[in-house]
Amino acid sequence: MKRFLGIALGIVTSIGGFLDAGSIATSSQAGAAFGYSLLWALALGTVCVIFLVEMSGRFAIASKHTITDAIRKRFGFPALVVPFALTMLVNLLVLASELGGVCVALELATGIGFQLWAIPVAIALWLLLWVATFDVVEEGTALLGLVTLCFVVAAWKLGAEPAELARALVTPSLPPDERAHYLFLAVSIVGATIAPYLFLFYSSGAIEDRWDKSYLTPNRLIAAGGMLFGALISMAVLVVAALTLKPEGIHVESYEQAALMLLPAFGRWGFWLFIVSLAVACFGAALELSLASAYAMAQTFGWNWGENLRPRKAARFSMAYTVFIALAALIVLTGLNPMKLTLFSMAITAVILPLTAMPFLILMNDRTYMGSHVNSRFSNIVVALIVLVAAVLAIVSIPLEIIGSR
């Protein structure tokens, strides 16, 4: 019974914690511009992230190492430097996007400019990490994140046709025009779904929660169930944007436009549901990302780490997330359009994905770490293929998007 409840909680927290600034920005833009035709990108990203998250948990269970720690030990610090530096840079941009998302939600609610919220939100984020335990951080915000299920309810209320959705999920199709933008959004969606911080965080979480071999099956259920149901919420955002904004001719370039999407389904409650969903989803993601970055830094340099440790027992780990949050707040203070920042950081995530995923795949096939729990050939092929295709598409589409938007 206790194990069943643990699995259920794991799935629920994965659902509630799935949506973030990246998913909201990319899915709403995709739905408003291209209707359902980018659902296949979400499906592709979801399949890959299910594999990666399950592998991440299995790796922690079998090897008793986190991914970053094992990459450092297996390949040596010099091999880790470039992927680490790039991942930290991208994490910083994504953290700034999440922080920006919370600030924009507060701006929409109060009328006070989003830049003025950067410091109070950063302090709230830091304070929670400083005093709370891992369970409170992970489960608390994820449970609050269940408010994002409002998008699923909205999609149902607006009469989304399941058959049409199913067709779009499995049939990629290039539009007759705006192809560069379409491809750019496709890779942004994949980058938003397969963010490296997600599976790196998952392995650190499995170590924090002291998962042993009895967690192998629950890990599989949590990875598949949590990611799948979580992805349904991202898909619902796309569908709702397709049904409400596209017919009005509104392309989403800022959160002010996205805020209109729940009005047809919920009336005046729709506006507030959007704001709360944006704020909670982004705040939860910002917490995870701050922790994930601190984990990565501590594990790369071999420092003491752990959200369950008091800050003075893991001083450099605590300093790492403090500095990260401060830098992200500075980026928000510059006034960069939070939605544009989000979209580009998601696309860049897709570019650097192979740098993290490939060493991870090698470890997953190393019996020294995995014992009898090594990857199947099928898993290797699926992950390698999706990651490489996404990276190539990103390298091609980012310059086209920049040229097209001049």
Partner 1 sequence: MRASALLRGRAMNAALRACALALAALVVGGCGPSEADWRSASSWSLTAVAVARAWERGEVPTRYARRALQKAADELAKGPLPEAGAPVDELRQALERGDREAVRQLVSELAAR
Minimal distance, residue 183 CB to partner 1, in Å: 14
Minimal distance, residue 405 CB to partner 1, in Å: 6
Minimal distance, residue 238 CB to partner 1, in Å: 17
Please name the amino acid found at residue 11.
I
Residue of 254, 304, 308, 334 that binds partner 1 (CB under 8 A): 254
Round to whole Å and give the CA distance between 21 and 27: 10
Which of 111/159 has CB closer to partner 1?
A: 111
Find the part of the chain contacting partner 1 (CB under 8 A) among 126-134, 250-258, 277-285, 324-332. Answer: 250-258
Q: Cβ atoms within 10 A of the Cβ of 335, count? A: 12
Find the part of the chain contacting partner 1 (CB under 8 A) among 44-52, 146-154, 201-209, 267-275. Answer: 267-275
Secondary structure (3-state) at 66:
coil
Site string for partner 1, 276-315 (x = CB under 8 A): ----------------------------------------
Site string for partner 1, 185-214 (x = CB under 8 A): ------------------------------
Determine, following the binding rule CB under 8 A, whether residue 181 of this chain makes contact with partner 1. Answer: yes
Determine, following the binding rule CB under 8 A, whether residue 260 of this chain makes contact with partner 1. Answer: yes
Determine, following the binding rule CB under 8 A, whether residue 176 of this chain makes contact with partner 1. Answer: no
Minimal distance, residue 349 CB to partner 1, in Å: 23
Minimal distance, residue 164 CB to partner 1, in Å: 24
Which of 161/248 has CB closer to partner 1?
A: 248
Round to whole Å and give the CA distance between 387 and 191: 10
Determine, following the binding rule CB under 8 A, whether residue 249 of this chain makes contact with partner 1. Answer: yes
Q: Are 117 and 107 in contact (CB under 8 A)?
A: yes
46 dihedral zone (left: phi>0; alpha: psi -120 to 50; beta): alpha
Residue of 135, 139, 209, 253 that binds partner 1 (CB under 8 A): 253
Minimal distance, residue 282 CB to partner 1, in Å: 18
Which of 109/309 has CB closer to partner 1?
A: 109
- Residue 376: what are its φ and ψ, rounded to 5°? -85, 160
Q: How far apart are the first and last CA of the chain?
A: 58
Q: Are 359 and 83 in contact (CB under 8 A)?
A: yes
The angle formed by the CA atoms of residues 91, 30 and 246, to the nearest 5 degrees, is: 145
Under rule CB under 8 A, how many of the chain's residues touch partner 1?
A: 26
For the chain, the farthest-separated pair of C-alpha atoms sits apart, in whole angstroms, at: 58
Determine, following the binding rule CB under 8 A, whether residue 404 of this chain makes contact with partner 1. Answer: yes
Round to whole Å and give the CA distance between 131 and 133: 7
Determine, following the binding rule CB under 8 A, whether residue 100 of this chain makes contact with partner 1. Answer: no
Nearest to 353 by CA among 94, 168, 37, 137: 94
Minimal distance, residue 400 CB to partner 1, in Å: 11
Nearest to 168 by CA among 30, 19, 321: 30
State which H helix or E strand residue 142 sits in. helix 141-144
Nearest to 360 by CA among 79, 89, 20: 79
Round to whole Å and give the CA distance between 222 and 182: 32
Using CB under 8 A, which residues numbered 101 to 140 contact partner 1?
107-111
Determine, following the binding rule CB under 8 A, whether residue 175 of this chain makes contact with partner 1. Answer: no
Which of 33/95 has CB closer to partner 1?
A: 33
Round to whole Å and give the CA distance between 278 and 102: 7
Residue of 9, 169, 221, 263 that binds partner 1 (CB under 8 A): 263
Which of 304/405 has CB closer to partner 1?
A: 405
Nearest to 297 by CA among 265, 270, 266, 320: 320
Determine, following the binding rule CB under 8 A, whether residue 256 of this chain makes contact with partner 1. Answer: yes
Q: Are 36 and 168 in contact (CB under 8 A)?
A: yes
Give Cα 349 distance to the centre of its chain: 10
Binding site for partner 1 (CB under 8 A): 107-111, 177-178, 181, 248-251, 253-254, 256-257, 259-260, 263, 267-268, 270-271, 404-406
